[in-house]
Amino acid sequence: MEAVKNKNRFGTAPVFFTALSTILGAILFLRFGFAVGTLGFWGVLLIIMLGHMMTIPTAFAISELATNKRVEGGGEYFIISRSFGLNIGATIGIALYLSQAISVAFYVIAFTEAFEFGFNYFADSLNVHLPRQVISMPVMAILGITILKKGANLGVKALYVVVGILFLSLLMFFVGNTEFQTLSGGKIPRADMRNMQDFFVVFAIVFPAFTGMTAGVGLSGDLNNPAKSIPFGTIMATFTGIIVYLAVIYKLAISASAEDMLNNQLIMSKIAIGGSVIIPLGLAASTLSSALGSVMVAPRTLQALALDVSFPTAKINWWLSRARSSDKEPVNASLVTIIIAMVFVSLGSVNAVAQIISMFFLVTYGSLCLISFLNHFGSSPSYRPSFRSRWYFSLSGFILAVWVMFKISAPYALGSIIIIISLYTYIKYYHSERQGLESLFANALFQINRNLQVYLQKKGSKKKVKEWRPSAICISKDSFTRTRAFQLLNWISYRYGFATYLHRIDGYYSRATSKQAADELSHLIEIYDTSHNHVYVDTIISPSYTSAIAQAIQVPGVSGMENNMVIFEYDKENPENLNEIIENIRLIKAGDFDICLLASSRRDVLFRNGIHVWINYQDVENSSLLILLSFIISGHPDWKKSAIKIFDICPPEQYGETRKALAELVHSGRLPITEKNIEIILEEPGMTSKSLINERSADAALVMIGFRTEGLKHNGEAIMSGYDKIGTILFINSHGQKEIV
């Protein structure tokens, strides 16, 4: 059965010849003379080097990706879609398909240049100026009918014939001689480099010569062994193309003057033996083989897109994905490709479209190199290609592809990017359920995160003076009933700090609690999935609050630095868990942690009413943290229209000293607090701090108050009670003084 299944499949040779025949195409015969005439030998050598600085990394990237997993129908599209996800894959795949389909027209139009002598004869002898379409349209029709009737098998057989003619014409060109060559002694003129200001103009003209390297990959679905044929065929075609290109520009430079090369686009015919016949024949063979390669590959890309349901309606996808039962030829996709090509052939010229084609090919090349780089960097265990490139090859190929797009034509590059973004937006609209991009980038992000954390740990251990910033952790089992703790963590972590929220599940670790943890974590992430959320959310399974705290405070925070702040939360109106929190304060104090007790009120937080900070300037440890943390919280967008107000209660004799010290602190610390927002209240007989706070901060959005753990130990809940007239309160105990500089 396997023999029957694979009897019509191809080996390595079709990949090699499809790629090579596209590489050695119309540009080689029609534009290399112009390029050498304009820039000189060394100038064109630089073009070839730059072009292959993109194509070689891409060839290596394709070879690597093809040997990691079986590449099915669709070639480059299949590789991109299975790496970047179906939505991005479809976006680039549609652009790739259009460039392949339009390339068929480009090559057919170039084919007509082989009959220039005929057009000249009619013009000079009969004064009849025939349009190129008299040849290009029938040729396109014959090519289309042939592919529709006979499929890729005949196309591959025809490839062998046209490639044979192509090599014969090149051989006759290399052995040819001219009077100029005799005079030059077969040496390149000294310093043969000129007009370098036109380098990228010429590069844009000859760039389609570098786009044929991946042509053979499109046959992936018709190969017996893609993992072997794609790498070997693609790399061999690429390096064979380099050798031929170098030989051709050398032969041109020693065989013809710059003027002759600029004035005769078929200058090769003046150099080759029997050139008036063999070079037009070689041009015809090269362009016909390139057109054959493109007309075989493009329908397979379109068919693969349809099989992945890339188009809006089920009928379109079904129709385009159909293949002929006898030979599995994608006849419907071929018909669409031929119609598109025929439309552009009828226009007679695709010079403007050629640059767009180049842009989409560059997008494809860049994408393939980026995929290879991310796979290298991500170091996923599932990425085990038998052929390995190097990450720096892939990265350089991606960067160069983007750079060259803008150097060729910034407007076309921007236009291509806009088209790609618009196409992706539309595809994402009707395939919103598809994912895929995240997994590739996630592996790279994991590696970056790992390396950064190790680096920060090493550097942090060597720093004598460490700048303080909050790295807070909160453990709560009330995640689905009260959200104020998560909100506080979000305020802290938005700009200046880091925060981890652990949802506690009572019980011992088991299959049931593990599944419960996974389900509830997924639900929490969904609830807090907003653009302003910067809190890392996780779950912890523990039989007691104390053991959960002991586990949590021993692990590093999400940033990689040690956690330095523990946040507890309770319901201010019903503080049933406050005793449990107080009992665990001693455990927290065993480490170097700042402690925050958040008394969540059921009153709404009216941000415009600002943050009220109550300090005792003599208590420098708590005061420094209160002021710094209020500033950090106010950095969140929720607080953008609010102000921080500082209150201090002091004896009358200390008023001047306290006022001056606080003003200096705010000024030197560059805090967004004006002096008018600093209020110093003089102590009076019978006055209590709780009564003052209830009076002055009744409407505040958030009230922040310092506390001492010694008082909490002796007085318990009484320290936190008695604030009935105000809303949410954040009680703070600082481990050491924080420098406000």
Structure tokens at 726: 């105000």
Q: How long a stretch of residues is the chain? A: 741
Could you report the per-residue pLDDT of 412-439, keeping only the tens digit for each? 888 878 888 888 888 888 777 776 555 5
Label residue 9 by pLDDT band (50, 70, 90): low
pLDDT of residue 259: 87
- Which of 84-93, 600-609, 634-643 has the lowest average pLDDT? 84-93
pLDDT of residue 348: 61
Burial class (CB within 10 angstroms; exposed 0-12, middle 13-18, buried 19+) of 502 = buried
Q: What are phi and psi of 94, to 5 degrees?
A: -65, -45
131's CB contacts (< 8 A; 6+ apart) are: 348
What percentage of the chain carries pLDDT values higher than 70? 84
Label residue 457 by pLDDT band (50, 70, 90): low
C-alpha to C-alpha distances, 566 to 216, 239, 277, 470, 736, nearest whole angstrom: 60, 62, 86, 10, 15
Cβ proximity of 246 and 52 under 8 Å = no
151's CB contacts (< 8 A; 6+ apart) are: 324, 327, 329, 331
| Runs of H (alpha helix) within 308-390 | 314-321, 331-347, 351-378
Q: Please report which helix (H) or strand (E) contains residue 645, including its range.
A: strand 644-650
Alpha carbon distance 379, 383 (integer Å): 7
- Which of 248-252, 457-461, 640-644 has the lowest average pLDDT? 457-461
Could you report the per-residue pLDDT of 29-63, keeping only the tens digit for each? 888 888 888 998 899 999 999 888 888 888 888 77
Q: Averaged over 713-732, what is the pLDDT?
A: 88
pLDDT of residue 702: 95
What's the mean per-residue pLDDT of the chain?
A: 81
Residue 609 clears pLDDT 80, i.e. is over it? yes
Q: How far is CA 523 from the centre of its chain?
A: 28
pLDDT of residue 158: 66
pLDDT of residue 726: 93
pLDDT of residue 461: 53
Q: How far is CA 697 from the centre of its chain?
A: 49
Could you report the per-residue pLDDT of 694-707, keeping only the tens digit for each? 999 999 999 999 99
pLDDT of residue 514: 92
Could you report the per-residue pLDDT of 156-199, keeping only the tens digit for each? 666 677 778 888 888 998 888 888 888 877 777 677 788 888 88
Question: What own/partner pairs with CB < 8 Å and gap ≥ 24 does 418-426 have?
Answer: 419/95, 420/91, 420/92, 420/95, 420/363, 423/91, 423/94, 423/95, 424/87, 424/88, 424/91
Label residue 6 by pLDDT band (50, 70, 90): very low
Alpha carbon distance 455, 446 (integer Å): 14
Residue 623 clears pLDDT 70, i.e. is over it? yes
Label residue 4 by pLDDT band (50, 70, 90): very low
Alpha carbon distance 180, 182 (integer Å): 5
Our separate counts of H helices and E strands in the chain read 29, 10
Cβ proximity of 23 and 236 under 8 Å = no
Q: Quick check: helix, strand or coil at residue 723?
A: coil
Label residue 327 by pLDDT band (50, 70, 90): low
Residue 68 clears pLDDT 90, i.e. is over it? no
Neighbours of 537 (CB within 10 A): 20
pLDDT of residue 211: 74
Q: How far apart are the first and last CA of the chain?
A: 79
Residue with tokens 């921080």: 644
Neighbours of 685 (CB within 10 A): 4
pLDDT of residue 608: 92
Could you report the per-residue pLDDT of 81-124, keeping only the tens digit for each? 777 778 878 888 888 888 888 888 888 887 787 777 677 777 77
Residue 381 clears pLDDT 80, i.e. is over it? no
Q: Quick check: helix, strand or coil at residue 709?
A: helix
Domains in the chain with CATH codes: 11-348 (1.20.1740.10), 469-592 (3.40.50), 603-741 (3.40.50.620)
Secondary structure of 266-316 in HEC code, one letter for each residue: CCHHHHCCCHHHHHHHHHHHHHHHHHHHHHHHHHHHHHHHHHCCCCCCHHH
Could you report the per-residue pLDDT of 141-165, keeping only the tens digit for each? 887 777 777 655 555 666 677 778 8
Torsion of CA 662, 663, 665, 667, to 10 degrees: 160
Residue with tokens 């014939």: 161
Alpha carbon distance 411, 402 (integer Å): 13
Alpha carbon distance 165, 161 (integer Å): 6
Residue with tokens 């002759």: 260
Question: What own/partner pairs with CB < 8 Å and gap ≥ 24 does 545-550 have?
Answer: 545/475, 545/504, 545/580, 545/584, 546/583, 546/584, 546/587, 548/475, 548/502, 548/504, 549/475, 549/584, 549/587, 549/588, 550/587
Label residue 515 by pLDDT band (50, 70, 90): very high
Q: What are phi and psi of 733, to 5 degrees?
A: -125, 120
pLDDT of residue 596: 94
Label residue 505 by pLDDT band (50, 70, 90): very high
pLDDT of residue 5: 44
pLDDT of residue 108: 83
Q: Which of 14, 17, 22 is nearest to 290 (CA)?
A: 22
Q: Which of 129, 103, 106 is nearest to 118 (CA)?
A: 129
Label residue 374 by pLDDT band (50, 70, 90): confident
More confident residue, 307 or 439: 307
What percentage of the chain carries pLDDT values higher than 90? 14
Cβ proximity of 620 and 737 under 8 Å = yes
pLDDT of residue 10: 67
Cβ proximity of 184 and 27 under 8 Å = no
